[in-house]
């Protein structure tokens, strides 16, 4: 059996198992990086050939984390062949090392206000407000339609926009109602009045232009550059600083549990040794009375 036959079988299996946008991403990775290298190889693929593939990836001008993603994809395909097709395949060489956890750029409310003042288009202001004050993911905001605007200043999140199409949200827990500040909700209402019921509110916004506007405004405001997703990180961090419970935050932003919050954002919380110590001292004093 050749590699290309295994690849075809693996893609058919994945197509039936994952949502379309995830499958399209997987297929693109495989056909861009794996197919050209292994197309005519006979199975099993030996250790030496795997080492050559790792060297092939190492020479590419792509991020270390993406190289690791591609190699993991290769290993998963080999494991699929072994488990389901009973082929003699396995990925035996060490993987690319994980990169360190990314450093997020967290903007305070004052910084975000300075950034927002540099934006000119109302649609961009409303869009970035959704990410910063609503904690939405970029795709969730881009998928919104007028019919998603509920009463009581709430919006319904039940889809996402990626690869130029609207699909199901990232996870089942991503489906939720999010209450917005009055002004942010009002911005959406004014945009919705110009759209048909099922028309996307931010249909003119593109992935590349969103980042370009963000970088331009942050540079003009003399702020550290941030990724678009960092506005969601800023929202979550702001709520943690305000003492909102992790359970409440997880529900608002569509996390399935609080593990992500506690693991990812703990480093951004202020140290509370003094507060803890004062409470302990008070308890000791009470016990002595």
d(CA 186, CA 129): 11
Give the pLDDT confidence score for residue 181 in this predicted structure.
Answer: 96
d(CA 60, CA 110): 41
The strand ranges marked E within the chain are: 154-157, 160-162, 165-167, 176-179
Q: HEC profile for 178-225?
A: EECCHHHHHHHHHHHCCCCCCCCCCCCCCHHHHHHHHHHHHHHCCCCC
Question: 127: Cβ–Cβ under 8 A, 6 or more apart, which residues?
Answer: 141, 142, 202, 205, 210
Of 66, 93, 47, 101, the closest CA to residue 58 belongs to: 66
Considering the domain 109-268 in this protein, what is its CATH number?
Answer: 1.10.443.10
Give the pLDDT confidence score for residue 240 in this predicted structure.
Answer: 85
Strand partners, 2: 42
User: Token match 């305070």: residue?
Assistant: 108
CB 159 within 8 A of CB 145: no
Helices H, strands E: what count in the chain? Answer: 14, 4
d(CA 156, CA 149): 6
d(CA 118, CA 138): 20
Q: Is 127 left (phi over 0), alpha (psi -120 to 50) or beta?
A: alpha
Residue 165 has phi, psi (to 5 degrees) of -150, 155
Instruction: Please state the length of the chain.
Output: 289
Give the pLDDT confidence score for residue 18 in this predicted structure.
Answer: 83
Cα 72 to the center of its chain, rounded Å: 19
* CA-based radius of gyration for the chain: 24
Question: Per-residue confidence of the chain (289 residues) as pLDDT tens digits?
Answer: 899 999 999 999 999 988 888 898 999 999 999 999 999 999 988 888 988 998 998 888 888 888 889 988 998 999 999 988 888 876 676 766 666 656 689 999 999 999 999 999 999 999 999 999 999 999 999 999 999 999 899 999 999 998 788 988 878 889 999 999 999 999 999 999 999 999 999 999 998 899 999 999 999 999 999 999 999 999 998 898 888 888 999 999 998 888 877 777 766 555 555 666 777 778 787 777 5
Token output for 93: 């060489």
Token output for 92: 């035996």
Give the pLDDT confidence score for residue 268 in this predicted structure.
Answer: 59
Give the pLDDT confidence score for residue 42 in this predicted structure.
Answer: 92
CB 128 within 8 A of CB 227: no
Taking each helix axis from N to C end, the angle separating 20-29 and 3-15, rounded to the nearest 10 degrees, works out to 160
Give the pLDDT confidence score for residue 279 in this predicted structure.
Answer: 72
């Amino acid at each position: 059996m050749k590699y290309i036959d295994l690849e075809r079988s693996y893609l058919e299996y994945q197509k039936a198992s994952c949502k379309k946008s995830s499958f399209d991403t997987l297929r693109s990775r495989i056909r861009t990086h794996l197919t050209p290298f292994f197309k005519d190889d006979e199975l099993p693929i030996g250790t030496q050939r795997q080492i050559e593939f790792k060297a092939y990836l190492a020479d590419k001008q792509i991020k270390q984390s993406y190289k690791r993603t591609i190699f993991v994809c290769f290993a998963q395909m080999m494991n699929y062949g072994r488990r389901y097709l009973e082929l003699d395949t396995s990925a035996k060489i060490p993987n690319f090392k994980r990169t360190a956890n990314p450093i997020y750029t967290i903007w305070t409310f004052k910084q975000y206000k300075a950034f927002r003042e540099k934006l000119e288009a109302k649609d961009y202001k409303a869009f970035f407000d959704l990410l910063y004050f609503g904690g939405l993911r970029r795709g969730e905001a881009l998928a919104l339609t007028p019919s998603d605007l509920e009463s009581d200043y709430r919006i319904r999140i039940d889809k996402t926009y990626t690869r130029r199409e609207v699909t199901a949200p990232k996870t089942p827990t991503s489906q939720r109602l999010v209450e917005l500040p009055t002004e942010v909700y009002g911005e959406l209402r004014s945009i919705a009045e110009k759209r048909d019921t099922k028309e996307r509110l931010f249909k003119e916004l593109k992935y590349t232009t969103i980042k370009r506007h963000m970088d331009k405004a942050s540079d003009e405001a003399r702020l550290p550059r941030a990724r678009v997703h960092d506005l969601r990180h800023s929202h979550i961090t702001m709520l943690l600083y305000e003492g909102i419970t992790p359970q409440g935050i997880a529900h608002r932003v569509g996390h399935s549990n609080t593990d992500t919050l506690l693991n990812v954002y703990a480093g951004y919380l202020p140290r509370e040794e003094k507060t803890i110590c004062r409470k302990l001292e008070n308890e000791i004093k009470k016990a002595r009375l």
